[in-house]
Structure 1
Amino acid sequence: MARSVRWVTGAKTQWTIHGEQLVDENRHIRLSTADVELPDGTRFTQYVARMPRCAMTLVFNDQQQVLLMYRHRFIIDQWVWELPGGYVDGVEDIAAAAAREVEEETGWRPRSMEHLATFQPAIGSVDQPQQVYLARGADRTDTAPDVNEAEKLDWFTLPEAATMIERGEIVGAATVVAVYRALTLAP
């Protein structure tokens, strides 16, 4: 049986927030509960996490391979491949933060930075803008990669990275978004 959906045109219905109460806060997260009312009058409490902006970089080398880091993510208890990246510090330029993270985590310095995508990974309960940059080329530095960031680093072609997503070896939203977005770019 087909289900009909009625769209109201010209009218926007917004949720009403009747208050928000702080649960906990530190420099990486602000956790609160919000008393929310839907347009039909239904009310409920929603957890809200507000986190700083993050910047990641998809680095292409001269052979058009992507630099990925292999690391353990304890929250999901899984070893995964992902892009270098991290929090933007205060009023730091976002592209500069993305480049800084690449160098700190991998020992490679991007030659250029261009915006690739901006997204919110869990828009229903987490406010954490994430910006992904594309670096075309990188140079090895004297900086040793941070041992706390990754078990190993390696370069992969975009099709290899896409296959890694299919196999569940890449699961982080930023890396998935970046790989699929990069596949749409002209060579």
Structure 2
Amino acid sequence: MTRNEITTPDGLDRTHHSIQLNTVATVIAVDEHHRALLMRRHRWIVDTIGLESPGGIVDLDEEPLNCARRELLEETGFEIDELTLVADLEPMPSLVRTRHLVYLGSNPRQVAMPSDAEEAAQLLWIPLEETTALLAKGMLLGSGTAVGMLAAAALFKGEPTTQSPGQQFVALPESH
């Protein structure tokens, strides 16, 4: 935490604390049934089990879009052709600076096993129509996941889809 001496726009001098964190990129990958690929995880800092989109910290000199692709592959074993930026946000601008970039893509395909077993946890396909209920229950962890799911639900609403099988665990290929 950094202590800052600032002058507000109305000329008031004051002390304000701040925290600077790295940029984060996250992905909402949506299948043909309008389900998002999320991870069921325990986050110790808030002692909560919930659902989270694949993503992570953008490395120094890494493009955020490349980070989003890398994290999707590492954490899930899935790739996606096109990703579109749907949100560029600062989740806590009063105290913390940590830019979050949320990407949306459709038609993900599994090409490998997750290479980061700790990060992958359980992979689930979650129907987009469950977004608001999951958000109200506190099940969507992190602002990137919440904003991304809301954006995906809004963008795909009313589009034709094949019959959705509902929530479903991802069957991972057997490792050799």
Q: Same fold judged by TM-score > 0.5?
A: yes
| Sequence identity (%) | 29
Relative to the length of structure 1, the TM-score reads 0.77
SS state at 1:170 partner: coil
What does 1:68-79 align with in structure 2 at a 5 Å threshold? 68-79=38-49
Residue 81 of structure 1 pairs with residue 51 of structure 2? yes
Q: Aligned residue for 2:139?
A: 169
Q: 1:89-122: CA deviations, max 9, x gaps?
A: 1121211110110010111111221111110000
Q: 1:97 & 1:62 partners in 2: Cα distance?
A: 24
Considering Cα pairs closer than 8 Å and 6+ residues apart, tell me whether 1 or 2 has the greater RCO. 2
Residue in structure 1 matched with residue 94 of structure 2 by the alignment: 124
Higher helix share: 2
Alpha-carbon contact 2:27-2:72 (below 8 Å) kept: yes
- Computing the radius of gyration from Cα coordinates, the structure with the larger value is 1
Give the partner amino acid of 1:34: N
C-alpha distance in 2, partners of 1:173/1:45? 27
Paired residues, number: 157
Higher share in strand: 1
> Aligned residue for 1:3?
none
Task: Mark the runs of 5 or more structure 2 residues left unpaired by the alignment.
Answer: 160-176
Segments of structure 1 that go 5 or more residues without pairing to the other structure are 1-30
| CA separation of 1:109 and 1:47: change in aligned 2, threshold 3 A | same
TM-score by length of 2: 0.82
Q: CA deviation at 1:183?
A: 2.3
How many Å separate the matches in 2 of 1:58 and 1:150?
A: 15
CA distance in 1, matches of 2:57, 2:131: 24
Which amino acid in 1 is paired with 2:29?
V
CA contact (8 A) 2:34 2:127 kept: yes
Moved more, 34-43 or 47-56: 34-43
Any conservation in 1 of the 2:41–2:121 contact (CA below 8 Å)?
yes
Summarize the Cα distance change of 1:37–1:109 in structure 2 as closer, same or farther, 3 Å threshold: same
Deviation at 1:42, TM superposition (A): 4.6
User: What are the Cα deviations for residues 129-166 of structure 1, in whole angstroms up to 9, with x where unaligned?
Assistant: 11100111111122335221132010011111321111
**CA distance in structure 2 between the partners assigned to 1:64 and 1:166 by the alignment:** 20
**2:130 counterpart letter in structure 1:** E
Measured on the aligned residues, the alpha-carbon RMSD in Å equals: 1.7
Change (3 A) 1:135 1:40: closer
Q: For the residues of structure 1 that align with 2:83 and 2:69, how far apart are their CA atoms?
A: 7
Q: 2:71 aligns with which of 90, 98, 101?
A: 101
Aligned-partner Cα distance in 1 for 2:2–2:72: 32
Pairwise CA distance, 1:36: 2.5
Residue in structure 1 matched with residue 170 of structure 2 by the alignment: none
